[in-house]
């Protein structure tokens, strides 16, 4: 009887560990997707004409309905634009974000 109780307890603990591992794996996947979506937008803007680089409001990313992306463009000095791309998504009912920043010059 004691053996069955110990095996049952051990099995329940093992299931909890597997469940936690699966959740963490899902979080990692979302973070990788967010980083790729931010990088994609940065590359798109770096290849655009300098005058066409502009801020974008927070909006759902096409093809990735669980993610939203926002672009903030500032001009820290003449002929230089700072591009900040932030991707948002929900993990465990809390909004999470990933941010990437780059600079583009008018040369």
Angle, CA 21 vertex, CA 20 and CA 25 arms, to 5°: 120
Local confidence band at 107 (pLDDT 50, 70, 90 cut-offs):
confident
Question: Average pLDDT, whole number, for the chain?
Answer: 83
Please give the Cα distance from 56 to 37 (Å, whole number): 14
pLDDT value, residue 24: 47
Residue whose C-alpha is closest to residue 71's, from 63, 80, 59: 59
What average pLDDT does range 62-72 have in this prediction? 94
Please give the Cα distance from 28 to 84 (Å, whole number): 22
Cβ–Cβ < 8 Å for 45, 57: no
44-72 CB burial, b ≥16 within 10 A, e <16: ebeeeeeeebeeeeeeebeeeeebbbbbe
Local confidence band at 22 (pLDDT 50, 70, 90 cut-offs):
very low
Burial of 41 (0-12, 13-18, 19+ CB in 10 A): buried
């Amino acid at each position: 009887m004691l053996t069955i109780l110990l095996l049952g307890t051990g099995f329940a603990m093992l299931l909890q560990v597997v469940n936690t591992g699966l959740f963490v794996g899902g979080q990692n996947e979302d973070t990788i997707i967010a980083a790729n979506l931010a990088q994609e937008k940065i590359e798109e803007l770096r290849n655009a004409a300098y005058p066409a680089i502009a801020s974008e409001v927070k909006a759902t990313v096409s093809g990735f309905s669980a993610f939203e992306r926002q672009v903030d463009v500032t001009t820290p000095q003449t002929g230089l634009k700072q591009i900040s791309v932030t991707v948002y998504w929900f993990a465990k009912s809390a909004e999470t974000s990933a941010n990437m920043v780059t600079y583009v010059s008018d040369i």
